[in-house]
Structure formats: structure tokens, C-alpha cells
Amino acid sequence: MGTELQGKTIAFLVAPEGVEQVELTDPWKAVASAGARPILVSTAAGKIQAFNHLDRADTFDVDQVTEKAKVEDFDALVLPGGVANPDYLRTQSTAVDFVRGFFEVGKPVAVICHGPWTLVEAGVLSGRTLTSWPSVRTDIVNARGTWVDEEVVVCTCEPSTLISSRKPDDLAAFCARLVEVFSGQAATT
């Protein structure tokens, strides 16, 4: 077990249903292996239902609900993808406010695949460069962000750093980069 993230608490925000399982579990394992404490945050208590593309996968216990979660209790935020997951989150004011809060106080955020839909709704993409699943490109551009087709992008625009990635095939690079950035050891790009 590594110690790069020792003492840090990382929020993973997901909808009650629809998160792409590997986009939740791989970053979760990466931060836990680096010594952090991952916390599963959702809009409802109980369990969330993950998916492997369109097929039901595993369920996971919710640790906190967005109504009660406080940005100040976390060091960073991860937004996994899956089509249904961010599509639902962007309609939930408590989830959108929670996400926006990380940007307002300058804490790092990592997002993959369709996850930027929640960032579009939070109004935090203007002037930022990021990547995503290709179908999210137009939404990012309409939100005045710059979309690029790269494995991982780290945007250090103030007030917070944003790490983004395109798809499950990019998870190894995404996980390595988010651990590096969350630890404060990343070179600025």
C-alpha cells in the first residue's frame, strides 16, 4: 500500500443507478491503494446500482448523501461516468451544488467519460480544457470549455485542478494521474 494520499479523504459522487462500474472501482482502488479514504456519496441512502455498459453489475453501499455531505470534509472529488449516472446527477440540485463547491474552494476534481455532464450543469467549465466521451464534446463546447481528444488532460485553471479522461480504456493513465494530482506531486501542465 502506498502513502501518497495518506490522510486524505476522497469523495466519489454517483447516482443511485447507472454508474459505469469500472469507472468507479478502478479509481476507488487507486486512491485506497495510495492510502486515501474513499467515500461513496449519492443522492439517496442505501445502495447504488452499478452497470457494465447496459447490464446490471454490482451494488455498493452509500456512505453519505449529498444533502449532508460537506465539501470541507473532503480533499478531492471523483466523478465516474456511465451515461445514466451524470445525466441523473445534473438534475439533482444537491449533487450539482456539491460539485460546484469543490471548484469554489479550489479542491481538485477528476472526471471520466460522460461525467462532465454534471460539470456542465454546475457551470464550472468556462475557460477549461478537458476531454470526455466524444458525444459530450458539444455540451462542453457550449459550456465554453475546450474539448480535446486525449487520454488524460490536467487543467490547472484557477481555482481548482481538473483531471479528465475519455473512457474505460484510459483508466490506467487516469488513475495514475489523479493520484499524482491529488497528492500534490503533479507537475503543472
Question: How far is the first Cα of the chain from the last one, in angstroms, to the nearest whole number?
Answer: 27
Own/partner long-range contacts of 135-140 (Cβ < 8 Å, ≥24 apart): 140/116
pLDDT at 2: 86
Which residues pair with residue 79 across a beta bridge?
111
Band of pLDDT at residue 187, cut at 50, 70 and 90: low
Q: What DSSP element (H or E) covers 163?
A: strand 162-165
The catalytic position among 53, 113, 155, 175 is 113
Determine the Cα–Cα distance for residues 49 and 59; give it in Å rounded to an integer: 5
Band of pLDDT at residue 186, cut at 50, 70 and 90: low
* pLDDT tens track for 25-61: 999 999 999 999 999 999 999 999 999 999 999 999 9
Determine the Cα–Cα distance for residues 33 and 137; give it in Å rounded to an integer: 32
DSSP string, 60-117: EE--EETTT--GGG-SEEEE---SHHHHHHTT-HHHHHHHHHHHHTT--EEEETTTHH
Query: Can you tell me whether residue 150 is helix, strand or coil?
Result: coil
Going by the DSSP 8-state scheme, the letter that residue 182 receives in this structure is H
CB atoms within 10 A of CB 71: 17
How high does pLDDT run on average in the chain?
Answer: 96
For the chain, the maximum distance between any two Cα atoms, rounded to a whole number of angstroms, is 42
The catalytic position among 114, 155, 157, 175 is 114
Q: Is 113 a catalytic residue?
A: yes
pLDDT at 81: 97
The structure's pTM equals 0.97
The number of C-alpha atoms within 13 Å of 107 and in the hemisphere containing its C-beta is 19
Q: Is 114 a catalytic residue?
A: yes
Phi, psi of 18 (to 5 degrees): 110, -5
